[in-house]
Amino acid sequence: MADEANKNTTPCHVDKDVLGDPANEENDSLAYYINATGHLLNVLHSDDKLRRSPLAEQVMALIRFWDAAPSERDNSKAYDAAIDAHLFGTVGKALWYLWRRNDPQLRKELHRLAHDPESLVGTQYLFYVAGTLAAKGFAVSFVPEKGKQGEKTPDLHAVKGEQQIWIEANAKQPKRVVDTPEKIWQMIRDIIEEKSQKFSNATYSPGMIVADISTAYHLVNENGTVPFLKLRSDLCRLFGDDLSQGFVYRLYEDDEWESHRENQGNVFAYLVDEFSRIDRSKRHVSQCLITITRQVLRDGRHISFPKGHQLVVHRDAEANALLDLSRHVYVVDSKPPR
């Protein structure tokens, strides 16, 4: 990909056919992310300040690794290089769809990513969400920050046909290990409390919180049960022939939902409870998506990057559930705010 004559200034070649087909992200993941990383490098090199950033240097080194013949690589580093390609490739994917737009806030976020290592996890996830929506046909814009005016704003605005949504994305590298039910509950509580504040202004309605919990030990629970929810089959409204094709489950129709041990004391139970207790007279949040995006699976010489998305929607917004982000939809009613 990188031009050997002048690796510091010449953009690298990317396969547009690979990036042009969203299905390649799943069907040929590593090739897709390597090409998307190459596109990120091209974007960085198109800007004088970005070209000289620590990020550009790191991405260039990664591209050089993958450009080398397999016999010339240090293949003990291939696994870590694949993880980095996934990390930077998700940013390159978003830029593939969005860079040509006149979006000053997008450029600001890219400069933040390029120069501020502390922002890597959160900003990379923001680009992940933006790229995922853009690949699904949404027109995505980054919302200008208004912190100097004392106003909190969400991160993204997405429009597709008559559907529109304002999105606040959250991913952090925790300062402590989140490995007990108590810590998981605190994490979910803090996400809902902090991020719902971005939707205090009715201008940003309908609102959606999107949060990644990849760094948490999300399978632990209070009761020691297997990490599966207990649902009533007669209440699952299937999108196809079986659950794998997606479903809508109205939790408020299941009178016994909270009584089952499988549905208590785990990350999903905490999410449902906290999301249900948002005071929607003050905060205009109607959906919450929880994701796991940083999984890496290796089977022999094959490597994959599976994603997990679960969507919780308030019953008033069920008709507008963002099915492009998740086909597993749980609908809740309101509970009294804390």
Looking at residue 3, its pLDDT comes to 47
Helix axes 29-45 and 54-67, enclosed angle (nearest 10): 140
Q: What are the pLDDT digits (tens) for 258-279? A: 999 999 999 999 999 999 999 9
281 CB-near residues (< 8 Å, 6+ apart): none
Looking at residue 5, its pLDDT comes to 35
CA 144 to chain centre: 20
* Euclidean distance between CA atoms 26 and 307, whole angstroms: 10
pTM: 0.93
Percent above pLDDT 90 for the chain: 80
Q: What are the pLDDT digits (tens) for 280-315? A: 999 999 999 999 998 888 887 788 898 999 999 999
Question: Is pLDDT above 60 for 153?
Answer: yes
- How confident is residue 2, by pLDDT bands cut at 50, 70 and 90? low
Mean pLDDT of the chain: 92
Candidates 35, 42, 55; CA nearest to 11 is: 42
Residue 130 has φ and ψ, to the nearest 5°, of -60, -45
Token pair recorded at residue 195: 């991020």
151 CB-near residues (< 8 Å, 6+ apart): 201
The DSSP element (H or E) to which 237 belongs, if any, is: strand 236-238
The predicted model gives 139-154 an average pLDDT of 88
Question: Is pLDDT above 70 for 10?
Answer: no
- In three-state secondary structure terms, 327 is coil
Token pair recorded at residue 248: 């809508």
* Euclidean distance between CA atoms 30 and 66, whole angstroms: 10
Question: Is pLDDT above 80 for 148?
Answer: no
* Euclidean distance between CA atoms 117 and 115, whole angstroms: 6
Q: What are the pLDDT digits (tens) for 120-144? A: 999 999 999 999 999 999 999 999 9
Token pair recorded at residue 273: 């409870």
Candidates 113, 104, 325; CA nearest to 212 is: 325
Candidates 36, 207, 30, 46; CA nearest to 135 is: 36
